Amino acid sequence: MTKPTLMETTDSVDSRKVPPSVLRQLLQIPVIVAALGYFVDIYDLLLFSIVRIESLRALGVAESRVLEEGVFLINMQMGGLLIGGILWGILGDKRGRISVLFSSILIYSLANVLNGLVTSVDQYAILRFIAGIGLAGELGVGITLVAEILPKEIRGYGTSLVASVGMMGAVLAYFIADSFEWRIAYFIGGGLGLLLLLMRVSVFESGIFAAVKEKPVSRGNFFYLFTTRERFFKYLRCILIGIPVWFVAGILMTFSPEFGQALKLDTPIVAGKAVMWEYVGLTIGDLSSGLLSQYFGSRKKVVLLFMSLAGVLIAIYLFVPFQSATFFYGLCVLLGISVGYWALFVTIAAEQFGTNLRATVATTVPNFVRGSILLMAPLFLVLKDQFGILPGAGLLGLLTLTISLLGLWQMEETFGKDLNFLEK
């Protein structure tokens, strides 16, 4: 018997299919770019909230009108997010994931550069609306792309990486706004987006979508979600499980100075700092929820665990007597961790629906959750006037957690689900 030559031995080794490591699969260009894109998205999304008062004063808005004009601009941004969520979702299923990622980042980056040049509230409002449209497309389509290109066994790692990196954009926004004049902060955000756009040249399209694009099937039909009772309730459940995330961000953090005053803390609470610490917690939570879902082999169990933790921490935040501002900010971190299933919730939405509707669902769902603040804020004001700020917020928190648990109750478990299917 003759021994194999060196070349024959090498060929036999090379011919073996050695699976790439998990880390190598995760660190693909589309995953990295989606994570950095969401980082810039969150930076730009929250920057206005951080520089709201400073920028409006610089534009000559009277002190008595700062709150009113700020609410108007936030509503304009939210209107852009709602419209953009539907627009980009439909285009993501009709034209492709990559084209939406390119287009959305270009729009919100240019809008944010122009935000640094505004000279009136009307200009500001138009540009916040346009920025909102652009910002609406980043997360949902990014998660869809990552979910479709990664093996189903490690999908949760990828979507958690995108969200946890993205959430740190809020921390950067706080420190940039604290270090620079508000116009410069907008220029920096827009510039980061345009730099990221250059990276996207090397991003490739999802193979699952590319295959579906050649088939004669309806894609990106938003109204198709409402054609059957089963499909509508599946879509509604995807929205409901995310509501507590925005209750914490939109109510507890936004009005944190008022809650701090009601709790009689030793130091006034700064809303921007509370939001920053909450997003530190969200970063930890998004990473943890993804890892736990992989460990337990379940999305639903982990979401239930985080919702339960959120319920306990909301009760402590509102009803446990403490007077330390430091303790309050620590609670903001813990609350952020407890609602840090944001990436998991968007991943669940993407996994529930077929390739011809996946981007539509994954993009509209988080933006409708963000839009829920348009209902929660007025309801909070009514409950506050009726019962007081702390009990009112407690009742609203109980309501949001109850409806989210109802949404989770009959939701399909999607861990490890093959995404190569269509909605028919």
- Angle CA 230–294–200, to nearest 5: 85
Q: What pLDDT, on a 0 to 100 scale, did the predictor assign at position 204?
A: 62
Backbone angles phi, psi at 412, to 5 degrees: -70, 135
* Assigned domain for 261 exists: yes
Check residue 378 and give its pLDDT.
87
Q: What value does the mean pLDDT of the chain take?
A: 87
Averaged pLDDT, 249-266: 90
Asked if residue 193 has pLDDT above 70, the reply is: yes
**pLDDT of res. 20:** 64
What pTM does this model have? 0.85
78 located within any domain: yes
| Separation CA 170–CA 272 (nearest Å) | 10
Mean per-residue pLDDT, 137-163: 87
217 assigned to some structural domain: no
Of all residues in the chain, the percent with pLDDT exceeding 70 is 93
User: End-to-end alpha-carbon separation of the chain, Å?
Assistant: 60
Least confident of 193-202, 337-346, 359-368: 193-202
In a domain, 20, yes or no: no
**Taking 60 as the threshold, does the pLDDT of residue 14 lie above it?**
no
CB 135 within 8 A of CB 111: no
Tell me if 195 sits within 8 A of 112, measured CB to CB.
no
pLDDT at 353 over 60: yes
Domain-located, residue 394:
yes
Length of the chain: 424
pLDDT band with cut points at 50, 70 and 90 for residue 201: low
Question: Coil, helix or strand for 150?
Answer: coil
Residue 70 domain-assigned? yes
Is 90 exceeded by the pLDDT of residue 277? yes
Per-residue tokens: 289: 């929820």
Phi, psi of 320 (to 5 degrees): -85, 125
How many whole angstroms separate alpha carbon 313 and alpha carbon 127? Answer: 37
Residue 81 domain-assigned? Answer: yes
If you ran DSSP here, which 8-state letter would residue 322 be given? -
SS (H, E, C) 302-313: HHHHHHHHHHHH
Nearest to 38 by CA among 177, 141, 130: 141
**pLDDT attached to residue 288:** 93
What is the rounded distance in angstroms from the CA atom of residue 124 to the CA atom of residue 51? 13
* CATH number of the domain residue 251 falls in: 1.20.1250.20
Report residue 47 as tokens: 């920057």
Count of structural domains within the chain? 1
CB 310 within 8 A of CB 335: yes
What are 288-328's pLDDT values in tens digits? 998 999 999 999 999 999 999 999 999 999 999 888 999 99
Measured CA distances, 213 to 147, 163, 218, 354, 355 (Å): 17, 27, 10, 13, 10
Mean pLDDT of 43-63: 88
Give the domain extent around 82: 28-201+222-409
How high is the pLDDT of residue 373? 86
